[in-house]
Amino acid sequence: MFTMKTISKFLSLIISVIIVLIFLVNISNTITLESSFLSVKANVGFLILACSVLSSLATVFYFISIGLFLNPELSKYKKQVEKTKLNYELESDKVKQLEAKVNTLEEALKTMTKKP
């Protein structure tokens, strides 16, 4: 029915729409950050958008780093699966050859026993 990929895309779209809606609702709100030597006015909507973008980038970089660490293990596993598959195919080919030889010998034996 639904694959994990389509569900993930759908959830990603919903979350993005929610972030944009929060951004639009708070675009007119401003806050002032003051310290003893600095006073900065910031738009709340843009702060929310900036935090969302930065957290998304951090998530992407995190998953890229996980992918880079898991890639050698994945390639080892793929090689092992291919090796197992190849061994199975070789064994099945040997069995087919032996069956063909047995059939040939059985036919030869039948023809030899039928001769008077």
The pLDDT tens digits of the residues spanning 50-86 come to 888 888 888 888 887 777 666 777 778 888 888 888 8
Q: Please, are residues 49 and 22 in contact by the beta-carbon 8 Å criterion?
A: no
Q: Which two tokens stand for residue 65?
A: 């780093």
pTM of model > 0.95:
no
Share of the chain above pLDDT 90, in %: 2
What percentage of the chain's residues is helix, strand, coil (to nearest 5)?
A: 80, 10, 10
37/20 Cα distance (integer angstroms): 33
49/53 Cα distance (integer angstroms): 6
Which residues sit opposite 40 in a β-bridge? 33
Which residue matches tokens 């069995």? 95
116/97 Cα distance (integer angstroms): 31
Enumerate the domain spans of the chain.
4-90
